[in-house]
Amino acid sequence: MPTGARRLNFLSIGECMVELSGGGEGLFRMGFAGDTLNTAWYARARLGDNWDVAYFTAVGDDRYSRAMMEFLDGNGISTRLVQVIPGKRPGLYIIHQEAGDRHFTYWRDNSAARLLADDAEHLLNATSKADAIYFSGITLAILKSARREELLAVLEGARQKGALVAFDPNIRPALWPDVSAMRQVITEAASISSIVLPTFNDDAPFFGDRSPEQTVSRYLAAGAGEVVVKNGPNPVHVSTGHISVFLSVEEVDQVVDATGAGDAFNGAYLAARLRGEEPETAARAASRMAAKVIRHQGALISDT
């Protein structure tokens, strides 16, 4: 980076949780993960040294929150904007295997991350300095209604001032009071976003989309500038309103673990777009990243 050049800022907003996996003979391995953290991880891997990647969340003042912060900082994801809330704790989930598939049990009702948007001034200051901001439907779902609206208003302001705002609906109906509220908020979030990164099989049951083209059309009509529809092993649909293209994804003979594949796609796609690559080129790079991730155990891999 040339001397005196300004560092650019990528900000990911959401919840990082304590993860317990394994479980053989009652023994579990502890780690840290979350959809918006996973995306920040892969964006960090593909952005240059002129980018600072930071995570915006809230944690407690316990040992596991401190370990989480050390993990993030140790892997190049800045915690300078993380809020520490005394007496709170991070959320927790356990991964267990059943019938050859992974199942998740969560404890997050009282997690510190649910308060991440409570300090309006801190939120505004953090987003005002960001060149790119990423958030998800999970980010929105864990917040109280008033704080959710505050976050969306701040993000809309950031986009109007020139920041790239990216959103993955990442639909999790169990986190929402009802499906109607979920659809309304997700549509509102898309309306203030530069890029929307949905997954067709997640969206279709709740929005009635019969094809990825309908998913694209719905988000473009809401106000999104660019839509990239992920669809498992099927082609990715990329549209900006001016271009619309389907791109085949890399075939994977054996899927080891699909956890985090969509998040990895998002991180690689956003990094490529922020480096100035065209949507089609970015989607191809993102598909390769997702294919690499599903060949490994866990959402976060270091071989990127």
Give the gyration radius of the chain's Cα atoms.
18
Q: What is the pLDDT of residues 66-111, one digit of tens each?
A: 999 999 999 999 999 999 999 999 999 887 766 546 678 889 888 9
118 or 289: which leads in pLDDT: 118
Q: How many CB atoms lie within 10 A of CB 150?
A: 17
Q: What is the average pLDDT across 250-266?
A: 77
pLDDT at residue 118 is higher than 60: yes
Catalytic center residues: 263
HSE-CB of 262 using CA atoms within 13 angstroms = 22
Q: How confident is the model at residue 3 (pLDDT cuts 50, 70, 90)?
A: very low
Gap between the Cα atoms of 67 and 144, Å rounded: 27
Which pLDDT score, from 0 to 100, does residue 104 have? 80
Q: How confident is the model at residue 2 (pLDDT cuts 50, 70, 90)?
A: very low
Q: What is the average pLDDT across 208-215?
A: 96
Residue partners of 40: CB distance under 8 A and separation at least 6: 10, 12, 53, 55, 77, 134, 267
Q: What is the pLDDT of residues 24-48, one digit of tens each?
A: 667 888 989 999 999 999 999 999 8
96, 76, 88: which is closest to 113 by C-alpha?
Answer: 88
Q: How confident is the model at residue 249 (pLDDT cuts 50, 70, 90)?
A: confident
Q: What is the average pLDDT across 153-178?
A: 96
Which pLDDT score, from 0 to 100, does residue 291 have? 80
Q: What is the pLDDT of residues 45-77, one digit of tens each?
A: 999 889 999 999 999 999 999 999 999 999 999
Which pLDDT score, from 0 to 100, does residue 98 have? 63
Residue partners of 119: CB distance under 8 A and separation at least 6: 83
206, 160, 210, 161: which is closest to 185 by C-alpha?
Answer: 206
Q: What is the pLDDT of residues 219-234, one digit of tens each?
A: 999 999 999 999 988 9
Using a pLDDT cut of 90, give the percent of the chain over it: 74
pTM of the complete model beyond 0.85: yes
Residue partners of 110: CB distance under 8 A and separation at least 6: 88, 89
Place of tokens 């993860």: 19
Q: How confident is the model at residue 119 (pLDDT cuts 50, 70, 90)?
A: very high
Gap between the Cα atoms of 170 and 149, Å rounded: 18
